[in-house]
Amino acid sequence: MNNFVYNIPTKVYFGENQLENLGAELSKYGKKVLLTYGGGSIKKIGLYDKVVAEISKAGLELFELSGIDPNPRVSSVNAGADICKKEDIDVLLAVGGGSVLDCTKYIGAATYYDGDAWDILLKKAPVEKCLPIITVLTLAATGSEMDAGGVISNPETKDKIGLIFPVMQPKVSFLDPTVTYTVNKFHTACGAADMISHIIEVYFNMNQDLYMLDYVMEGLMKTIIKFAPIAMEKPDDYEARANLMWTSTWAINGFVNGGKRQAWSCHPMEHELSAIYDITHGLGLAILTPRWMEYTLNENTVSKFYQFGVNVFGLDGTLPQMEVAKKSIEMLKDFLFGTLGLSSTLTEIGIDDTNFEIMAKKSVTGGTMYAFQPLAASDIEEIFRMCL
Amino acid sequence: MNNFVYNIPTKVYFGENQLENLGAELSKYGKKVLLTYGGGSIKKIGLYDKVVAEISKAGLELFELSGIDPNPRVSSVNAGADICKKEDIDVLLAVGGGSVLDCTKYIGAATYYDGDAWDILLKKAPVEKCLPIITVLTLAATGSEMDAGGVISNPETKDKIGLIFPVMQPKVSFLDPTVTYTVNKFHTACGAADMISHIIEVYFNMNQDLYMLDYVMEGLMKTIIKFAPIAMEKPDDYEARANLMWTSTWAINGFVNGGKRQAWSCHPMEHELSAIYDITHGLGLAILTPRWMEYTLNENTVSKFYQFGVNVFGLDGTLPQMEVAKKSIEMLKDFLFGTLGLSSTLTEIGIDDTNFEIMAKKSVTGGTMYAFQPLAASDIEEIFRMCL
């Protein structure tokens, strides 16, 4: 069993009408606030006005960077860092989903670097400082609100890279489930697929470190399976939105990791997909994950699938291990492609095998040394083919 | 569903040989360290020498307060605060179990109060500041290493009071499962009973806020049920000790609460027991909890017992709710009095009904407004009688 350091200091305001605390939290860090957001959906739902009112009430000075894309680009990071340097910004306020939050983290880091922010993603520039970050979350999916990681795309090089720097950990996050009432069925489903994939990446591990965390992960997966369909059916169901929101945070904030040595498999593969085809991250993960499971299921790994089937899907534990294991993958497919209604193949979303070889090579670079089942480029290419 | 603020910033070093980080962590807060501990068991197991060596290596100045009792007394709090004031202590280092940690929290708070520390427990003195606290845990039970609460006894008044002040939250805690190898069977069992009771106090709640937390709590209870017997049988089983240690922390650090309105029932009752009879806290809880469950099980509450029976003990969910509910209490008794081998009645440990009336009255003062089943003094007296 491996040692670990648990250090997740983000403070979270959870629930409705918590934004009344926003001004006080921002003020702890200074006067000049850079508000970052995406394409303007926060204006449609009235969140922008609420946030700006709180900033104004607190007597803070507001700067803005809008237009951060899904699969956020390094150009937005550079643009944000330029504002921070020029205006001497004290604190960043990211209002949006994972893309806005991820981008804002790198803006905070790039403010202390004189050069192209892409150097940070290429690990050519050290990240030892970051502007303080406060977030207002609008989508339950990536968990960026309580972790120190972020993924940035570079459309020029067709690269998508995710890194973790502890200084990028948000100081405070506001999680209001009612803000997600307007998230449509598709993005609710993609969020659910993203969070279940975050857990699967950690859970499927032959290192049985800290079994209590397996129980916790099983509980989180059961929560997603229980509440995602409810949120899709009844978008303003507070209980469903709240359970999904808090689960998405805990699926990836680091608690469930313990000291497990791990190397994520489906995420690196998906990053290659969305880097080239700009698809929604959760959708890519939904298509990839069951095929990765089918490919990695064997006599050495069967016990983990069995545990997954019995503890998450309630399958009959008296049946043969391999039978339960296979059935567990079918149950996951039923959930993703049936209940959530997500497309089940790459073909369906217009992706063919043109780039599989290069994507497979790049995925391996992501590192699979401690993976559940180490995969060479040829293995990954085969998994991509299984998704057609 | 109620709003809540999640704010648990304690950093945790988990695993063996993590004390090499102790000097650096202490040094963040200053030069003068007050080391607090109990009756000397930390010397027997060599932990004292290791801690002192790290303090010395970091060039820090060491002061000591030893002799903190189980069910720690207010006299120790006053003695510690006197040292802190006189020596201008910068940081507190608590090495021990929950008693040492709890006592140290109030030492940190009482340092900023000119008067008897008991005033703090009586809420006559405000607690707005506290010296920084670092802990090295030696017993998996109370969770004091990652929460802001503590319980202090006053032998003169026969009172035992527990309060929570956010400023008392430890900055850093060191959790090394191997340190608990020397914890004997009885105290391992009492620790398990304590942690399962912490969860039951929150779990048995008719407010179904954030169901995902119910799953987490069920996982934590299953962990205790799985690993406590292993740790008793094989005291140096790292996996068992590690699972119990991390579970005890998460059973009470506040994560599982969400926004549940709650009022603990068995803890206030037990505090009256140990205030008068100085018994081990976990033993008192083990005796009380199943009787409290029997007393509060009725048509209104049966669904929670049913959930407990099915999800924690794997009982057959197709049986009638009440049958599953009653069986779940029997299963818990089997675990506490059979598997853990704890005494099952107050009579067995030499306690009769002499003080039941006064204890019952004092327990109610603890507050039961939001309790699972509100209990008047007469109800509590009846529960005490059921324990004979």
Query: Residue B93's pLDDT band (boundaries 50, 70, 90)?
Result: very high
Task: Using DSSP, state whether B174 is helix, strand or coil.
Answer: strand
Which residue is closest to A6 within chain B, CA to CA? B12
Which residue is closest to A258 within chain B, CA to CA? B14
By Cβ distance, the residue of A13, A218, A223 closest to B5 is: A13
Mean pLDDT of A33-60: 96
Quick: pLDDT tens for B164-206. 999 999 999 999 999 999 999 999 999 999 999 999 999 998 8
Using the beta-carbon criterion (under 8 Å), do B11 and A5 form an inter-chain contact?
Answer: yes
φ, ψ dihedrals at A179, nearest 5°: -65, -25
| Pairing outcome for strands B4-6 and A11-14 | antiparallel
- Distance linking the first and last C-alpha atoms of chain B: 39
How far does the CA of residue A352 sit from the closest CA of chain B (Å)? 39
Least confident of A145-159, A365-379, B157-171: A365-379
Using the beta-carbon criterion (under 8 Å), do A210 and B243 form an inter-chain contact?
Answer: yes
CB A271 within 8 A of CB A160: yes
Query: How many CB atoms are closer than 10 A to CB A329?
Result: 19
Q: Which helix (H) or strand (E) holds A95?
A: strand A91-96
Using the beta-carbon criterion (under 8 Å), do A7 and B12 form an inter-chain contact?
Answer: yes
**Cα distances (angstroms) measured from residue A242 to each of A18, A134, A225, A226, B211:** 14, 20, 14, 12, 9
pLDDT at residue A366 above 70? no
**Chain A contact probe: residue of B207, B208, B215 with most A CBs at under 10 A:** B215
How far does the CA of residue A310 sit from the closest CA of chain B (Å)? 12
Amino acid at position B80, single letter: G
Q: Does A7 touch chain B (CB under 8 A)?
A: yes
How far does the CA of residue A14 sit from the closest CA of chain B (Å)? 5
Output the pLDDT for position A372. Answer: 81
CB B132 within 8 A of CB B29: yes
Output the pLDDT for position B209. Answer: 80
Mean pLDDT of A151-173: 94
Q: Does A220 touch chain B (CB under 8 A)?
A: yes
For residue B324, give both structure tokens: 């599953």
Return the beta strands (E) in chain B as ranges: 4-6, 11-14, 32-36, 61-65, 91-96, 133-137, 149-154, 159-164, 172-175
By Cβ distance, the residue of A11, A215, A243 closest to B212 is: A243
Count CA atoms within 13 Å of residue A385 on its CB side.
8
Q: What is the share, in percent, of chain B residues with pLDDT greater than 70?
A: 98
Cβ burial of A69 (10 Å; 0-12, 13-18, 19+) is middle
Using the beta-carbon criterion (under 8 Å), do A210 and B242 form an inter-chain contact?
Answer: yes
CB B102 within 8 A of CB B144: yes
Chain A residues whose beta carbon lies within 8 Å of the beta carbon of residue B311: none
For residue B103, give both structure tokens: 């006592």
pLDDT at residue A195 above 90? yes
Query: Residue B372's pLDDT band (boundaries 50, 70, 90)?
Result: confident
By Cβ distance, the residue of A1, A5, A215 closest to B223 is: A215
pLDDT at residue B50 above 90? yes
Mean pLDDT of B19-29: 98
How far does the CA of residue B219 sit from the closest CA of chain A (Å)? 5
Task: Using DSSP, state whether B87 is helix, strand or coil.
Answer: helix
Amino acid at position B210, single letter: L
CA distance B136 to B179: 9
Query: Residue B31's pLDDT band (boundaries 50, 70, 90)?
Result: very high
pLDDT at residue A365 above 70? no
Output the pLDDT for position A259. Answer: 87
Using the beta-carbon criterion (under 8 Å), do A9 and B9 form an inter-chain contact?
Answer: yes
Output the pLDDT for position A370. Answer: 63
Residues A13/A15/A18/A24 CA torsion (nearest 10 deg): 0
Output the pLDDT for position B364. Answer: 83
CA distance B149 to B165: 6
Output the pLDDT for position A264. Answer: 84
Mean pLDDT, chain B, as a whole number? 95
Query: Residue B369's pLDDT band (boundaries 50, 70, 90)?
Result: low
How far does the CA of residue B156 sit from the closest CA of chain A (Å)? 40
Q: Which residue is listed with tokens 């989180």?
A: A220
Query: Residue A71's pLDDT band (boundaries 50, 70, 90)?
Result: confident
Output the pLDDT for position A18. Answer: 97
Q: Which residue is listed with tokens 């497309």?
A: A343
Structural domains for chain B: 11-179 (3.40.50.1970), 185-386 (1.20.1090.10)
Using the beta-carbon criterion (under 8 Å), do A6 and B14 form an inter-chain contact?
Answer: yes
Using the beta-carbon criterion (under 8 Å), do A15 and B4 form an inter-chain contact?
Answer: yes
Q: What is the share, in percent, of chain A residues with pLDDT greater than 70?
A: 98
| Pairing outcome for strands B61-65 and B32-36 | parallel
R_g (Cα) of chain B, nearest Å: 20
CA distance A359 to A361: 5
Query: Residue B1's pLDDT band (boundaries 50, 70, 90)?
Result: confident
Mean pLDDT of A51-72: 96
Using the beta-carbon criterion (under 8 Å), do A239 and B11 form an inter-chain contact?
Answer: no
pLDDT at residue A207 above 80? no
Output the pLDDT for position B373. Answer: 82
Residues B171/B12/B193/A2 CA torsion (nearest 10 deg): -170
CB B14 within 8 A of CB A259: yes
CA distance A236 to A138: 14
Query: Residue B307's pLDDT band (boundaries 50, 70, 90)?
Result: very high
Quick: pLDDT tens for A284-333. 999 999 999 999 999 999 999 999 999 999 999 999 999 999 999 999 99
Chain B residues whose beta carbon lies within 8 Å of the beta carbon of residue A261: none
Q: Does A164 touch chain B (CB under 8 A)?
A: no
Output the pLDDT for position B347. Answer: 97
Using the beta-carbon criterion (under 8 Å), do A14 and B6 form an inter-chain contact?
Answer: yes
Output the pLDDT for position A387. Answer: 97
Mean pLDDT of A67-93: 96
CA distance A184 to A194: 15
Chain A residues whose beta carbon lies within 8 Å of the beta carbon of residue B314: none
Query: Residue A40's pLDDT band (boundaries 50, 70, 90)?
Result: confident
Q: Does B370 touch chain A (CB under 8 A)?
A: no
Amino acid at position A250, single letter: W
Query: Residue A369's pLDDT band (boundaries 50, 70, 90)?
Result: low
Q: What is the share, in percent, of chain B residues with pLDDT greater than 90?
A: 89
Q: Does B28 touch chain A (CB under 8 A)?
A: no
Q: Degrees (nearest 5) of the Cα angle B5, B11, B17?
A: 155
pTM of the model: 0.95
Query: How many CB atoms are closer than 10 A to CB A185?
Result: 13
- Distance linking the first and last C-alpha atoms of chain A: 39
How far does the CA of residue B57 sit from the closest CA of chain A (Å)? 22
Chain A residues whose beta carbon lies within 8 Å of the beta carbon of residue B5: 11-14
CB B62 within 8 A of CB B56: yes
Residues 199-218 of B with CB under 8 A from A: 208, 210-212, 214-216, 218
Query: Residue A350's pLDDT band (boundaries 50, 70, 90)?
Result: very high
CB B145 within 8 A of CB B10: yes
pLDDT at residue A33 above 80? yes
b/e B330-355 (16+ beta carbons within 10 angstroms → b)? ebbbebbbeebebbbebeebebeeeb
